[in-house]
Amino acid sequence: MAISRGEKLRTLLDAWVPGMVATSAWLKGLGVSPQHAQQYVSSHWLEPVAMGVFRRPSETPTWEGALYSLQTQLDLQVHVGALSALASEGSAHYMRLGRETVFLFSKTGGVLPGWFRTHDWGVDLRHTQTQFLPAHLGVRDTEMGGFRLKASTAERAILECLHLAPKTVDLMETFEVLEGLRTLRPALMQSLLEACASIKVKRLFLFMADKASLPVLSHLHTDALDLGTGDRAMVKGGVYIAKHRLIVPKELAVHE
């Protein structure tokens, strides 16, 4: 028996999560055709955000709601990471002037839809495509902005900060955030470090963890880590840290 347009609309409204956007793929799964969607626009049940993407007229979609749609409707493997993930659990304690920057991560080749990248969600989106860590290791479900989103654990997020440093994320800020991470889980930290493909990230973490006297450090088996050969320079004209074969900014080297 055919489902009436009114029944489809009720199904759509019942499934709607306030603040999200609806993609044409999600609507199709509910039995709503592009023609029906346009009829809902004409009757003011929906408003277009972009071609094939809609919102409720009474709502202003948030970046969290849009990301929720990417993760649940389009099944895209993109997660909140770095300082944004740390801030979501209260670990990144810095207030920034101006617009918030939201750090998103996906594997290399994980391109986000144009409508998501170009729409103004009220934040600056910083999307990094990388495979320096396995896609799902250290990624959790967490509440952000009223949505259940995929985001990095603190253990993964601090490594993502180091991956972005020093060009995108400041090394001193990262260190000061890391100093507060007193409850990192040794087993997960070990797994992440062993799986990490970046020599720079591993050396920076061990240097900073040592400098900050992080409790997790005494539980790590550093002999199991591939730390590479040769030196790694974070800046020109910095201070050489022989133990970790790193050249770091002077202010970080002498920071107490």
pLDDT digits (tens, 9 = 90+) for 42-51: 999 999 999 9
- Nearest-CA neighbor of 56 among 46, 71, 66? 46
pLDDT for 58 beyond 50:
yes
Are residues 150 and 103 part of one domain?
yes
Is 250 contained in some domain?
A: no
pLDDT recorded at residue 2? 44
pLDDT above 80 for 97: no
Dist. CA 191–CA 179, nearest whole Å: 21
Are residues 32 and 142 part of one domain? no
Say what the pLDDT of residue 96 is: 62
What domain range is 38 assigned to? 5-55
**DSSP helix/strand/coil, 73:** coil
For residue 45, what is the DSSP state?
Answer: S
What confidence score (pLDDT) does residue 93 get? 59
For residue 108, give every residue at least 6 positions away whose Cβ sits within 8 Å of its Cβ, in sequence order, or none: 129, 130, 131
Share above pLDDT 70 across residues of the chain, in percent, rounded to a whole number = 95
| Same domain assignment for residues 170 and 46 | no
Q: Are residues 40 and 83 in the same domain?
A: no
Residues 213 and 129 in one domain: yes
The percent of residues above 90 in pLDDT, for the chain, comes to 91
Q: 51 and 124: one domain?
A: no
The residue behind tokens 């800046």 is 235
> Are residues 222 and 170 part of one domain?
yes
**What pLDDT is recorded for position 7?**
87
Residue 107 predicted with pLDDT over 90: yes
Q: Are residues 51 and 90 in the same domain?
A: no
Distance between CA atoms of residues 232 and 212, nearest Å: 20
Does 239 map to a domain?
A: no
217-238 as b/e: b if 16+ CB within 10 A: beebeeeebeeeeeebebeeeb
**pLDDT value of residue 116:** 98
Residue 240 lies in a domain: no
- Rounded to a whole number of angstroms, the CA Rg of the chain reads 22
Two tokens at 91? 């670990």
Q: Are residues 109 and 212 in the same domain?
A: yes
Same domain, 29 and 146: no
Supply the DSSP symbol for 53. E
